[in-house]
């Protein structure tokens, strides 16, 4: 990334810039706070004795599960990002960040545009009105027997990651793995590859045409703030983006979801890689209880609640085997409107006498 950064000498060159998409990046500028900051803030409310009751890790897990978000706001992250305008518009919808963006009124916009990789191009989904179809699934369904590729491996995210590593692609993020696998499959479908290449060429040609008009308008004396209006949404913009951890996790929950736009997911995944080492306890709880968790409606809870006592016992035993301690098992009972005394029956309290 160092050569690209020379276009803006104000950017810190000592940072680890993570490349995203074809010409974008995410870099972590600075942070304020760690897991310890969250625990410290929480214990202002919980009192002096809390530390002897549960560990820092358990306390953070409790905060995440019960949506006690104020302590998470004690931690902040500031990122530097380069991203296409159409992605930036999705990111800026999260109105909880402080943003300062590159100005097309003050400066000439660089000739830097997004062109989709073949692995990310797909047709409009027949059901999802705002999304694209699953190109990988489509190609796997058409893959002939004896191709030497295991379809089941590529349907699984971890399998795709292993496949990419076997092919020498290195350690890729989920969106990168997906695009990589699609492009490998396209080697077996030359007509489809040719069609997608034509799409790429059309996007690139339009980018070049629009930028040429932009430059021509400015050469004619037209103000930069007017001339920039002809530039497409594929233009890359840059900004500093600062947000507290509570709102950042909400952003990541939405933008890392499978139905989020592919390009927005790519940025969310890159940002998450910076978050994990700064607040590892928070990330573990977030990933387990929030990112991969779901809320239940009243009707869903009523239908899914185990009906008989034996089924309820089996559920609690299964959760206990997954590491749920007794206090958390009672939380589960309260969520599902089950008598938590069942936990004491299964694991009788020890006599403290």
pLDDT digits (tens, 9 = 90+) for 82-109: 999 999 999 998 888 999 999 999 999 9
Domain boundary among 214, 230, 246: 230
Least confident of 68-72, 297-301, 315-319: 297-301
pLDDT surpassing 50 at residue 52: no
* 352 within some domain: no
In 138-182, DSSP assigns E strands to none
312 and 171, same structural domain? no
* 353 within some domain: no
Pair of tokens at residue 213: 């008009």
Q: Starting at the edge strand that comes first in sequence, how are the strands of the sheet with 24-32 ordered?
A: 18-20, 24-32, 76-84, 236-244, 98-101
How do residues 62-79 score in pLDDT, each as one tens digit? 899 888 899 999 999 999
Rounded Cα distance, 223 and 104, in Å: 10
CATH code where residue 8 lies? 3.30.1360.170
* 221 within some domain: yes
108 and 60, same structural domain? yes
- Nearest-CA neighbor of 254 among 265, 263, 246, 244? 265
47 and 133, same structural domain? no
Least confident of 7-11, 77-81, 331-335: 7-11
268 and 341, same structural domain? no
Q: How big is the chain, counted in residues?
A: 353
* 351 within some domain: no
331 and 238, same structural domain? no
Segment 120-141 mean pLDDT = 92
64 and 101, same structural domain? yes
Instruction: Read off the pLDDT band of 53 (50, 70, 90).
Output: very low
**Residue 339 belongs to what domain range?**
298-346
149 and 125, same structural domain? yes
Domain boundary among 230, 245, 269: 230
276 and 206, same structural domain? no
112, 255, 265, 312: the catalytic one is 255
Contacts of 335 (CB under 8 A, 6+ apart): 296, 301
Percent of the chain with pLDDT over 90: 63
224 and 302, same structural domain? no
* 7 within some domain: yes
**Total domains present in the chain:** 3
Is 193 known to be catalytic?
Answer: no
Domain boundary among 186, 203, 230: 230
pLDDT surpassing 70 at residue 344: yes
How do residues 262-287 score in pLDDT, each as one tens digit? 999 999 999 999 999 999 999 999 99
* 248 within some domain: yes
224 and 282, same structural domain? no
251 and 324, same structural domain? no
Segment 160-173 mean pLDDT = 89
223 and 240, same structural domain? no
Q: Are the CB atoms for 252 and 271 separated by under 8 Å?
A: yes
How do residues 192-214 score in pLDDT, each as one tens digit? 999 999 999 999 999 999 999 99
């Amino acid at each position: 990334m160092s050569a690209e950064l020379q276009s803006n000498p104000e950017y810190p060159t000592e940072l680890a810039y993570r490349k995203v998409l074809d010409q974008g990046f995410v870099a972590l500028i600075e942070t304020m706070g760690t897991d310890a900051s969250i625990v410290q803030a929480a214990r202002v409310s919980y009192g002096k004795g809390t530390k002897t009751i549960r560990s820092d890790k358990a306390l953070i897990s409790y905060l995440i599960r019960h949506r006690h978000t104020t302590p998470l706001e004690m931690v902040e992250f500031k990122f530097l990002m380069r991203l296409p305008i159409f992605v930036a518009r999705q990111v800026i919808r999260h109105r909880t960040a402080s943003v300062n963006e590159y100005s097309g009124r003050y400066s000439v916009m660089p000739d830097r545009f997004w062109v989709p990789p073949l692995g990310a191009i797909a047709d409009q989904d027949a059901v999802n009105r705002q999304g694209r179809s699953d190109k990988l699934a489509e190609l796997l369904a058409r893959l002939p027997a004896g191709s030497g590729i295991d379809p089941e491996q590529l349907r699984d995210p971890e399998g795709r990651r292993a496949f990419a590593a076997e092919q020498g692609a290195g350690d890729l993020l989920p969106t990168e793995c997906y695009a990589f696998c699609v492009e490998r499959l396209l080697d077996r479908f030359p007509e489809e590859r040719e069609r997608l290449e034509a799409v790429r060429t059309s996007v690139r040609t339009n980018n070049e045409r629009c930028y040429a008009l932009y430059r021509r308008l400015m050469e004619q004396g037209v103000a930069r703030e007017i001339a920039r209006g002809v530039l497409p949404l594929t233009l890359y913009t840059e900004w500093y983006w600062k947000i507290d951890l509570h709102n950042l996790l909400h952003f990541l929950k939405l933008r890392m979801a499978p139905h989020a736009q592919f390009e927005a997911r790519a940025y969310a995944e890159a940002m998450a890689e910076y978050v994990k080492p700064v607040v590892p306890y928070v990330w573990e709880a977030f990933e387990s209880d929030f990112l991969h968790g779901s809320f239940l409606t009243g009707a869903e809870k009523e239908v899914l609640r185990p009906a008989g006592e034996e089924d309820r016992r089996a559920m609690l035993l299964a959760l206990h085997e997954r590491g749920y301690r007794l206090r958390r098992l009672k939380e589960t009972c309260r969520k599902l409107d089950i008598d938590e005394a069942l936990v004491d029956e299964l694991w009788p309290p020890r006599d403290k006498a």
